[in-house]
Amino acid sequence: MILPGGGGAYRGSVRNTVIRAGLAAVVLGGSLAAWGLTTGTASAAAGPIALPESAGIPLPAATVSSPGDMVVDGPRHRVLISDADAGQVVALSYAGVRQAAVDVVGAGTMTMSPDRSRLYVTSSEPTDLAAEPQILGEHEIVVLDVATLTVLERYPLGRARTPTTVVPAGGKLWFSYREVGGYGNWGSIDADGVHVHAASPIDIAQDSLLAVSPTDPDMLAVTGRALTESDLVLYDVSGGVEREIARNSQGDDGISNYSGLTFTADGKQVFLGGYGGKVFRSVPGLVLDGIVNMGGFASVDSTAGAGTMVTDTWGAASLYPPGAVTASQQWNFPLTGRYPYSPRTVAWEPGGARAFVISYNTIGEHLFWELDAPAAAATTLTLTGPATSARGAALALKGTAKGIAGASIAVVRKDLENPAGVRLPAVPVAADGTFTVSDKPAVGGTVAYVVSYAGDALHKPATASAAVAVSRLTPAVTISGNGVVHAFNSTATFTAHLGATYKNRTVEIWADPYGADQPNRLVRKATADSKGNVTASLALRRTTTVSAVFTGDARYAPRTVKAVAATKVSVSTTLVGTYKTGYFRKTVNPRVVTAMSDYPNRKQKLFFESYTGGKWKAWRSAVLPADSTYTLTGTHATGVRYRVRSAYVSGSVAGDSVNYTTYGAFQYFAFTK
């Protein structure tokens, strides 16, 4: 958030631009790169992330004319920005798109209630000191409903007191203010009205800075917005009046012009920022923990609970983990061009998933930046388990989760009966970073265990998984018809039989014709009858592998059995040129015409035989295309009987093996004068 006086909105013509910057990588000139870094007196744990202006998306000037303070409304994924010039509180989406607005005159600093349901806004009408007589504006604290951005209450402060900060503590609203003439004080608002200090219990040169502890809602920190020095005081405000807990003079820290005050996320330190650097002091003693020298301090926020995010006017945002005075990460804003941008206000989403920064330059242009998971370190989960396990037997999977001891790891088991997963009891991470998942899987097959860590403000989410092959019984599955030889284009019926199973009684019958040009295809899928049978009929034109497929269930493994249905070809042989059936004149060369069921590049073989010595003997042969005409030439002897037939010889002779070897019928002939 922005601190009053430490960074009010620049007045003038405004061009607003939104930039989204992921922190998984470092962008520089369109690509990502890392720089060396020194922050204060110690190096940051990681190199700075350079954010490019080139990633900006221009927005209309009417979106926000003069950005001031900023808070994050996490449940609705939007940021709320005060706009003093427009007299509004504006709601922007995380992408910088204007969604809603409510009128609040001179809207300034803002604070949410602890339950984040109410928004407290300082409101100030302009004061014209040059007028005769002087015109003093009305000032008040406005309470808004965060969800609807409607006004719930107004607390007038009169014309003489300009509110500068407001925080809820001890059941009251505490506010600081500046009086006419520059001096200030602080006070509270309760059911009895507005109460102010007649004389401040601390030295205040202008007005006060107030902060409430995130871990103790009754502890209030107060200091003056001093040019040189002012006491820092802790109060217990649980009673009717504030009770001093500790006091420390800030003159020894080398910081002047204080403009930022907050508690760290764990409530164990108070942070002060001003010109020349920032200071961390312990709570409740206010002992000096560390000083970080820097240029001009801009703003600070620790809302996310993951550390303290600080911006400075020299172009950087830095993250300080709880209890640390050394930055763990730094983001460098582009200080290039004629009018370089300087970060102004910063605000974190509760939980630390995102931080937002508004930067500006000297001609009134603003940039809106989103930093993803700024405080989150990568979390590595591992999970290993046995490769196999018996169904119903106890098994243990071992995992590691470094750096999140005590965290809870969610466990989901996915199996055949619960493909979407069943949530098992969460397991804790031990002090050494290990955890164990124990289970007795009742379902067989591949059982997957998925473990996940949701992440928090300091750690990113992570997931790991392991699979275990859990044993299943082997079902009895058979298919009829193996080895049976079928005529070409005949219809055959196949019967698949399924024995005992758990739940699945479905059987699939598949047919895969020989040859690469036809796919395996599903012939029938059905529930087995009372005898465990499923039948299917199939027209056969090629030798076909017929499969009975059981896909398995929670207790029985998948199984496939196969039968080969051998299938002949269609073949015919015809004699042409006879003068009567079976007889040729010896002066005629017979023609043998053959036809065979086709397949690319298929060959047939003609077999000629002659009858001599009381038996049929091979005479001659020829290998021809499947459909062809063969002419028998030469000198034809009379008185001898001949016969011829065509054959498909599966394998190298035919040139393919998609059918069963088939011999055609003989055609008989003889020659006469």
CA 622, CA 602: separation in Å to the nearest integer? 14
Q: What pLDDT shows up at residue 37? A: 24
What number of residues does the chain have?
673
CB 408 within 8 A of CB 428: yes
Give domain 571-672's CATH number out of 2.60.40, 2.40.230, 2.60.460, 3.30.450: 2.60.40
Where on the phi/psi map is residue 314: left (φ > 0), alpha (ψ -120 to 50), or beta? Answer: alpha
Q: What is the pLDDT of residue 506?
A: 98
User: 329 and 44 in contact (C-beta within 8 Å)?
Assistant: yes
Rounded-to-10 torsion of CA 310, 316, 319, 323 = -60
Cβ contacts of residue 393 below 8 Å, gap of 6+?
440
Q: What is the pLDDT of residue 295?
A: 66
Residue 371 CB: number of other CB atoms within 10 A? 25
Cβ atoms of 27 and 50 closer than 8 Å: yes
User: If you ran DSSP here, which 8-state letter would residue 58 be given?
Assistant: E
All residues at 6 or more sequence positions from 78 whose CB lies less than 8 Å from its CB, including other chains: 72, 91, 92, 93, 94, 99
Q: Which residues of the chain have pLDDT under 50?
A: 1-45, 57
Determine the Cα–Cα distance for residues 474 and 480; give it in Å rounded to an integer. Answer: 19
What are phi and psi for residue 100, nearest 5 degrees?
Answer: -160, 170
Q: Look at residue 51 in the predicted model and tell me its pLDDT.
A: 78
Nearest to 57 by CA among 20, 98, 103: 20
Residue range(s) of every CATH 2.130.10.10 domain in the chain: 16-372
Helical H segments across 442-578, by residue range: none
- Beta bridge mates, 194: 189
User: Taking the CB of residue 172, how many other CB atoms lie within 10 A of it?
Assistant: 19
- Angle at 533 (CA atoms; ends 532, 539), nearest 5 degrees: 165
Specify the pLDDT at position 10.
Answer: 29
Domain with CATH 2.60.40.730 in the chain: 477-567
State pTM to two decimals: 0.60
383-470 has which fold?
A: Immunoglobulin-like (2.60.40)
Residue 334 dihedral angles phi and psi, to the nearest 5°? -70, 110
Region 16-372: CATH code: 2.130.10.10
Nearest one of 545, 501, 551 to 525, comparing CA atoms: 551
| 3-class state of residue 70 by DSSP | strand
Kindly give, in sequence order, each residue whose CB lies less than 8 Å from that of residue 406, ignoring residues fewer than 6 positions away.
428, 429, 431
Q: pLDDT value at position 175?
A: 93
Provide the token pair at 20. Answer: 């989204």
Residue 502: closest CA among 468, 553, 542, 467: 553
CATH code matching the domain that covers 477-567, chosen among 2.60.40.730, 3.40.50.300, 1.20.1050.10, 3.30.70.100: 2.60.40.730
Q: How far apart are CA 297 and CA 172, in angstroms?
A: 29
Euclidean distance between CA atoms 327 and 318, whole angstroms: 6
Confidence at residue 143, expressed as pLDDT on a 0 to 100 scale: 97
CB 60 within 8 A of CB 410: no
Q: For 443-454, how does the pLDDT look when each residue is reduced to its tens digit (9 = 90+)?
A: 999 999 999 998
